[in-house]
Copies of this chain bind each other. A is one copy, B any other.
């Protein structure tokens, strides 16, 4: 599969694929036999999609690389992989918990803003989140 096809299937530009390649986020597919064109496997499409996905969720490209290198590297000791995976898992759980806080703040807001009149002093998104601060300030 050539670069244009990968880019299209992953929903990004060709330049982005080249950029990710330089960053080491996807395989380096030098194939001088094939006229000097890059040739990718379909796994690359999934990798690129995963990168975009993880970016939306607040991971940097470096963190995403860490996530991706958790997989099959035959040289790596399994205990090490497990340890890094656990660290990432903790991060992910923390993100979920904090998003859940925002979620319930928004739900409260929607509950409280039932009427059609002026919003006056209802709509306390920060107030809803302040409780966190108060807990951590005792």
Contacts and interface: CB of A to CB of B under 8 A. Distances in A.
Q: Tell me whether chain A's interface is mostly helix, strand or loop, or mixed.
A: helix
Total identical chains: 2
B129 A50 contact: yes
A100 B109 contact: no
A90 B68 CA distance: 28
Contact of A46 (B68, B70, B74, B129): B129
Contacts of A57: 57-58, 95, 98-99, 102
Nearest to A67: B125
Interface stretch (A17-25, A29-37, A76-84): A76-84
A132 B43 CA distance: 14
Contacts of A58: 55-58
